[in-house]
């Protein structure tokens, strides 16, 4: 029975994660770029009918990914085991991504979409930065999740490498709250930065 429950949680975790990250990439790679070129009426219609639907799947995909992830993290015994460096990197990045969705992106998108009052341009900038940061984190997050299972012999990590990696993620999250997009402004830029961050964290866990 325990194996069946574990499988169900893992199944939902992966399915919800596909939904969440799929919508994240849609927003960053497709919708945002489309809005830059769309006619005013088309953009208005998409913001009224398309964006709210997409954001529903986006935020609840994040919620179910996070909840099931907590259960799996507990079952791995990772809460009290820092030797599982890869899963700690993945879980930390994933947790910040979840918090960005519910505490930054969704509240500010409600203002942008006219669902509640506020400073539209300022809210758009805040949501955009958090969304770009989530895209940045998606590479290391996936490395941690897959690496903990399939690369454990080479991603065991040391306490030093893990602490540096977690510190780097925390600094980037601080930037998500009060910084700027910088090289993440373009689609190509955020993809390159995510790949670079993934390689850096892999190196920290593997060599430091």
Question: pLDDT tens digits for 138-172?
Answer: 999 999 988 776 666 556 556 899 999 999 999 99
Residue 152: its pLDDT value, please? 62
Beta-carbon contacts of 199 under 8 Å, excluding residues fewer than 6 positions away, are none
Q: Whole-angstrom Cα distance, residue 52 to residue 33? A: 17
- Tens of pLDDT, residue by residue over 79-132, are 887 778 889 999 999 999 999 999 999 999 999 999 999 999 999 999 999 999
CA distances 191 to 136, 149, 184, Å, are 7, 24, 8
Can you give the pLDDT at residue 159? 82
Query: Which two three-digit tokens encode residue 207?
Result: 């060599």
Q: Phi, psi at residue 206, to the nearest 5°?
A: -90, -30
| pLDDT at 136 > cutoff 90 | yes
Which residues fall within 8 angstroms of residue 5, CB to CB, at 6 or more apart?
A: none
Give CA–CA dist 132/179, Å, rounded: 12
Are the C-beta atoms of 116 and 174 separated by less than 8 Å? Answer: no
Q: For 24-47, what is the mean pLDDT?
A: 96
Average pLDDT over residues 188-192: 98
SS3 for 80-121, per residue? HCCCCHHHHHHHHHHHHHHHHHHHHHHHHHHHHCCCCCCCHH
Q: Assign 175 a pLDDT band (cuts: 50, 70, 90).
A: very high
């Amino acid at each position: 029975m325990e194996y069946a429950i574990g499988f169900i949680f893992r199944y939902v975790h992966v399915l919800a994660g596909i939904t969440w990250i799929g919508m994240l990439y849609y927003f960053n790679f497709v919708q945002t770029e489309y809005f830059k070129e769309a006619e005013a009426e088309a953009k208005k219609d998409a913001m009224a009918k398309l964006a709210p639907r997409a954001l529903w799947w986006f935020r609840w995909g994040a919620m179910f990914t996070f909840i099931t992830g907590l259960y799996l993290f507990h079952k791995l015994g990772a809460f009290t085991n820092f030797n599982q460096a890869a899963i700690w990197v993945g879980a930390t990045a994933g947790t910040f991504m979840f918090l960005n969705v519910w505490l930054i992106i969704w509240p500010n998108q409600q203002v942008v979409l006219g669902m509640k009052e506020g400073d539209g341009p300022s809210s758009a900038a805040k949501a955009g930065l958090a969304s770009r940061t989530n895209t940045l984190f998606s590479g290391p997050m996936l490395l941690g999740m897959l690496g903990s299972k399939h690369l454990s012999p080479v991603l065991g990590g040391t306490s030093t490498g893990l602490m540096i990696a977690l510190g780097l993620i925390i600094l980037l999250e601080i930037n998500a709250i009060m910084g700027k997009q910088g090289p993440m402004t373009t689609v190509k830029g955020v993809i390159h930065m995510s790949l670079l961050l993934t390689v850096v964290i892999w190196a920290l866990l593997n060599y430091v």
